[in-house]
Structure 1
């Protein structure tokens, strides 16, 4: 779904001003950056700007006929191309529809814009089908590609786009923005959300709306009970049924990295404040080789879940918790 916004995130404002001040635009752009950092918002706002009949102060006016059609989701000259299901591929048939769209005359007599996200979801055939449109662009037609992982794109696709990296704001700016977004979250809670989101403010806001803080507290308490022998791994795996597996994998990966840094003396305190005492205790007890083997196993299963492999969630969590607890056992 395309964001119905006409302005980028505030931390991307300098890049926006440079882009929209140009007289001539590239026929294809590749907006890349970390998930939740604002690149989709940026691309949506740029699409709105390109299609607006009378931009004001460098932004879409949201008042003209073209803007009204866009905001209603019914602009005939704006096409959004994305997977039919999250995590699935963008197939060649969908890209052929894009090519047909590009070849047609704009129904509103202005520009045509295609937003394709995530670009790395295109399979090889789809990417090759797109190349012709990139090599022989139509007048007044603009392709906006959005990618979390631009390295996964065919080099020939990347080379035919103007690549625009969109980074994250500084920590203080991200924290100030998230704190201003409403709700009753404390500054400490916002800081934890940003940590869970890898510093990406929009992802942190999504996590807040998904009640991730309460889920995190439940998981941390469960970890403490597990290490004290107060709960069995199988029972804990069932109790975490409502927690998204992606979050659990992210948290365990972050805690494992903290353990490695603590164990090697690279840092004095864990970055995960709510797990600082637990991780500090574990770092003193575990063996580095066992920790590295655990990390390899965890990263491999994270990759499998990301690729939508058909894994049994409860059995995976039970095995993961057994291995986590066994990190403290000496050979």
Structure 2
């Protein structure tokens, strides 16, 4: 007799963890002094790699906790906290793109509308976190705007964005802005060292990440610094010898991580501009041959066109979060780089 096939268990969506970092003290102090009178919508904004989503989760857990401490921290023991940690709290809704690189859709925000108008199950609040908020398409943003204009009682909405300028002004104007800044170098370095990163590597990673510790940690763990010399050879070949295929390099960079390679390219071009203006290098020195190539190339480049190329890199990094083809995006950018050699 054939055995009955077990039904597949529905997969529970894994939510980000509530996190606390040293550089969160100021925004945490600002919000926790007014927990009883928080606005219905907040916008946590700041560069990527500062742990804004972890902060949003920590704030949400605190608001939902049934036995919050005097320091506004969630107790971690009550029924509400247990459900929160398990990712199954009925009064928490977390909205993010259903697929990496895709947009937050109007179907998701419409489903949110139905959820918001239900009464809280366990307390006086229902919390919604949208991250990254800039990934909402225009229809989703318009749907959300209606909820912000007429917020249901007891609902608190937390939007998280590394690119708040991409959000409609009408949405930004209805949210309390909470700004996150990168910590000073000493704090960032100390945190990275505590995470097991060597001091010199921590300093280099912070330079490439514009001071964002979580980005720096990811770079250090991925041997980003070791691979950067290889990427420098890629652009040197395309620029100086006109050999090599932009398509081949784009395919390689996509495989190695488009976000990381574009971050490296942006920081490298910024460093070239600094050198061209006589300000000296910010990035760690490459090997002797690569360093010589950089010095020679900087003397040849048209500075105005190099600034234009830097703008193209920034645009490409922004477009990485959209459904555009990464291969074509990288290839187009590398062709622009190679063409700088024709417009000296």
> Over residues 247-302 of structure 1, what are the superposed CA-to-partner deviations in whole Å (9 max), with x where a residue is unaligned?
2222222222222222232x123434336554233223434355456546655655
Gaps of 5+ in 1: none
For the Cα contact (< 8 Å) 2:60–2:127, is it kept in 1?
yes
Q: 1 CA distance for matches of 2:56 and 2:259?
A: 25
Unpaired segments ≥5 residues, structure 2: 1-13
**What is residue 257 of structure 1 aligned with on the other side?**
270
* Deviation per residue, 1:33-64 (Å, 9 max, x gap): 10111211211110111111111222111111
**Is 2:156 aligned against 1:142?**
yes
Q: Alpha carbon RMSD of aligned pairs, Å?
A: 3.1
Q: CA deviation at 1:139?
A: 2.5
Q: 1:122-201 alignment to 2 at 5 Å?
A: 122-182=136-196, 185-201=197-213
Aligned positions, number: 325
Sort the Cα spacing of 1:97 and 1:256 in 2 relative to 1 into closer, same or farther, 3 A. Answer: same
Counterpart for residue 324 of structure 2: 309
8 Å Cα contact 2:254/2:327 also seen in 1: no
CA separation in 1, counterparts of 2:281 and 2:300?
A: 16
Change (3 A) 1:61 1:238: same
For residues 268-307 of structure 1, the aligned pairs below 5 Å read 268-274=280-286, 277-288=292-303, 291-292=306-307, 294-295=309-310, 298=313, 301-302=316-317, 305-307=320-322
Matches of 1:3 and 1:311 in 2, distance apart? 26
1:116 to 130, 136, 139: 130
Taking the aligned partners of 1:149 and 1:108, their CA distance within structure 2 comes to 34
Q: Which residue of 2 aligns with 1:15?
A: 27
Distance 1:270 1:326, change over 3 A: farther
Counterpart of 2:49? 36
Q: Measure how far apart 1:325 and its partner are.
A: 6.7
SS of 2:127's equivalent in the other structure is: strand
Shift of 1:170: 1.1
Partners of 2:103 and 2:323 within 8 A in 1: no
Describe how 1:49-60 pairs up with structure 2 within 5 A: 49-56=62-69, 57-60=71-74
Aligned with residue 202 of structure 1, among 196, 211, 214:
214
Structure 2 Cα separation of the partners of residues 109 and 228 of structure 1? 65
When structure 1 is superposed on structure 2, of 147-156 and 214-223 the one drifting more is 214-223
Q: Distance in 1 between matches of 2:329 and 2:38?
A: 50
